[in-house]
Amino acid sequence: MRKNLLAGLAVTCALAAPFSASAASVTIDGNFTDWGITNNGTTAGWTPKTGINYAVEDQSDAMSGFLSPGWGGQAYDAEAIYVTWQTKSDGKTYLDVGVVTGHDPSTATTANSYGRGDIAIDFGRNGSWDFGILTANRSATLLRGDVVATTNANWSTGLWSSPGVFAPEASPYVTKVASGTDVGNASVAISNAFTNMGILGGNHWFYEVEIPVDAFGSHWQGMNPSEAFSIQWTMLCANDIVALNVAASTVPEPAIPALVLAGLAAAGLARRRHNA
Ligand SMILES: [Ca+2]
Ligand SMILES: [Ca+2]
Ligand SMILES: [Ca+2]
Ligand SMILES: [Ca+2]
């Protein structure tokens, strides 16, 4: 009987495997329509497809341009971040990240303007930033698309020590990778400017990034992260930050529980019939 039950589960799991591969399949091309995001001038346009973790913080030039922790209005508005992961036909799992911002990616870093920052990931959510994914070349060897293993000392930080408090020497907000160990290669695409995103107006840009999870070592086991993580993006002043906390298993995989339950029910039914 027990053998039959296990055999039933094995069949069920085999059936379930293809469904667990992906909460959402996206292509890294700078186009956000595959995420279910729509620039149709509505608040609902920010909402992605089911199974994608996301946070939206769309702001405008109102409130004297205050964005928290800094100022700058739409030109420094970090607006939304999206996260999902998928296992592709090559058998490898990839973490996919999307960011929408009002900050022009081509903004130069000068006396009073600040360029784009990198994506930062803190596995374990313990305040230690473990990886950066580079959106631009940062040194002779740390280049756009590199996945870099870091400690907090490897990161540059912003202008603010807390919301509204200008204190660059005491800023806790990580912005770009300055040094660290290159552990992998991500795909990075950045869109051209687009409009009609949400209801607050302005120009917007979309960053689309895909990271092979083997770069994360023990922080990722098989198809899912082995621990909760924080992920964020900002620009080099950190005037505004979009961040998301992701639980170790937050991507809905309804096909698995349903099929496992069906398998258990079938196994139970078989056992009752056998006993009868
Ligand atoms: Ca895309
Ligand atoms: Ca905005
Ligand atoms: Ca914002
Ligand atoms: Ca950490």
Q: Are residues 272 and 154 in the same domain?
A: no
Select from 252, 255, 253, 248 the least CA-distant residue to 230: 248
Same domain, 29 and 53: yes
Residues 147 and 267 in one domain: no
Residues 148, 174, single domain; the answer is: yes
Q: Which of 106, 117, 77 is nearest to 198 (CA)?
A: 77
How many Å lie between the centroid of ligand 3 and the Cα of residue 27? 25
User: CA 114, CA 199: separation in Å to the nearest integer?
Assistant: 26
| Across 114-125, average pLDDT | 98
Token output for 154: 């490897």
pLDDT digits (tens, 9 = 90+) for 138-151: 999 999 999 999 99
Q: What is the mean pLDDT of residues 132-139?
A: 98
pLDDT tens track for 231-259: 999 999 999 999 999 998 755 444 344 44
CA of 67 to the centre of ligand 2 (A): 10
Q: What are the structure tokens assigned to 260, written together?
A: 């496992």
Mean pLDDT across 6-35: 61
Nearest to 217 by CA among 176, 245, 180, 184: 184
- Model pLDDT, residue 1: 40
Residues 160 and 202 reside in one and the same domain: yes
Q: 77 CA to middle of ligand 1, Å?
A: 21
Record the tokens describing residue 153, joined without a space.
Answer: 């000392």
How far apart (Å, rounded) are the C-alpha atoms in residues 158 and 156?
Answer: 7
Q: What is the pLDDT of residue 3?
A: 44
Distance 236 CA to ligand 2 centre (A): 18
pLDDT per residue as tens digits for the range 8-17: 444 333 333 3
Q: Which pLDDT value is given to residue 248?
A: 87
CA distance 134 to 200: 29
Q: Give how many domains the chain has, as a whole number.
A: 2
Read off φ and ψ for residue 154, nearest 5 degrees.
-85, -5
Instruction: Print the domain residue range for 42.
Output: 24-248
> Residue 134 Cα, ligand 1 centroid: separation in angstroms?
18
Are 8 and 64 in a shared domain?
A: no
Share of the chain above pLDDT 70, in %: 82
